[in-house]
Amino acid sequence: MANNDTIKKTLLVAVALCVVCSVIVSGAAVALKDAQVANKLDDRNRNILAAAGMLEEGVPIAELFARIDTKVVDLRTGKFTDAVAADNYNQRKAAKDPAVSDALSSAEDIAKIRRREHLALVYIVEEQGQLDKIILPIHGYALWSTLYGFIALESDGNTVAGLGFYEHKETPGLGGEVDNPRWKALWPGKQVYLDGQVALKLMKGVVDPDSPDADYQVDGLAGATLTSRGVSNLVQFWLGEGGFGPFIANLRAGKA
């Protein structure tokens, strides 16, 4: 009787098992790729709709997102561009490519992102041919991580319609409170610009409703000073001259 307990046969069985498992895993990955891409796109669209306050229970995401027009903006000029197709443009990847992004100086880089891409996606909502909302991608470093999200502005380009983050690694119960619906509900109605400058920021503590600056202030995150500061900085960067500020000004003037 042949001896099955040899090293050679053990290795053959192990190799065969690895090959079979690899084939199964690879096959599953290929078969599920389209579903994974669709789910990722659906999640992105859901976050955009949520930031704009456009989610409706029972209505498919695709149907709601059909109301939104995705465009590309050249951040260097503050104007729309057709240099790349919006459907397959990877903005995060572009931000890491020196050929299509600019390095930021320490004075410019208040959001701690190091580089700013030349081109950015924006999401435009129109109602009866008139601008209704502008939804902008934003990101910046806080305490432990880079926060990625969206901020939505009303048609005046100055009033916040909503804000939400879809990716971060901030501490649960502290900086992670950026996900708290009660805190996010503080943003709609806040004003961004005062005398042409970004005045919107998070406070240390609770906003005094009687303060003349209350419209430009949001409650800070309790016990999360550095995360609060990071959110303030990324909002001020992306809505300022180094981010979408010139585009918003052009859009309001009909010159985008």
pLDDT tens for the chain, 256 residues long, are 556 667 777 777 777 777 777 777 666 556 655 555 567 778 899 999 999 999 998 999 999 999 999 999 999 999 999 999 999 999 999 999 999 999 999 999 999 999 999 999 999 999 988 999 999 999 999 999 999 999 999 999 999 999 999 999 999 988 999 999 999 999 999 999 999 999 999 999 999 999 999 999 999 999 999 999 999 999 999 999 999 999 999 998 888 8
Decide: helix, strand or coil at residue 160: strand
Is the CB of residue 100 less than 8 Å from the CB of residue 117? yes
Report the Cα–Cα distance between both ends of the chain, in Å, rounded.
83
pTM of the model: 0.84
- Going by C-beta distance under 8 Å and a sequence separation of 6 or more, which residues neighbour residue 122? 70, 71, 72, 73, 134, 135, 136, 137, 244, 247
Tell me how far CA of residue 45 lies from CA of 41, 64, 150, 169, 231, in angstroms.
6, 9, 11, 21, 22
Q: Residue 106 is encoded by which pair of tokens?
A: 């320490």
Contact 89, 121 (CB under 8 A): yes
Two structure tokens written together for 1: 């009787």
Q: What are phi and psi of 89, to 5 degrees?
A: -85, 125
Distance between CA 203 and CA 183 in Å, rounded? Answer: 13
The two three-digit tokens of residue 72, written as one number: 């590309």
Beta strands of the chain (E only): which ranges?
Answer: 68-74, 79-80, 101-103, 115-117, 119-127, 130-141, 146-154, 160-167, 193-194, 197-198, 201-202, 217-218
Alpha carbon separation from 111 to 146, 147, 151, 197 (Å, rounded): 9, 10, 15, 16
Q: List Cβ neighbours of 78 (8 Å cut-off, separation of 6 or more).
A: 244, 245, 246, 247, 248, 249, 250, 256
Beta strands 119-127 and 68-74 are antiparallel
By DSSP bridging, strand 217-218 and strand 201-202 are: parallel
As a whole number of angstroms, the distance between CA 134 and CA 115 comes to 23
pLDDT of the residue at 21? 74
Beta carbons within 8 Å of 98's beta carbon, 6+ residues apart: 115
The conformation of residue 199, written as its DSSP 8-state character, comes to -
Burial letters 70-86, b for 16+ CB under 10 A, else e:
bebbbbeebebeeebee
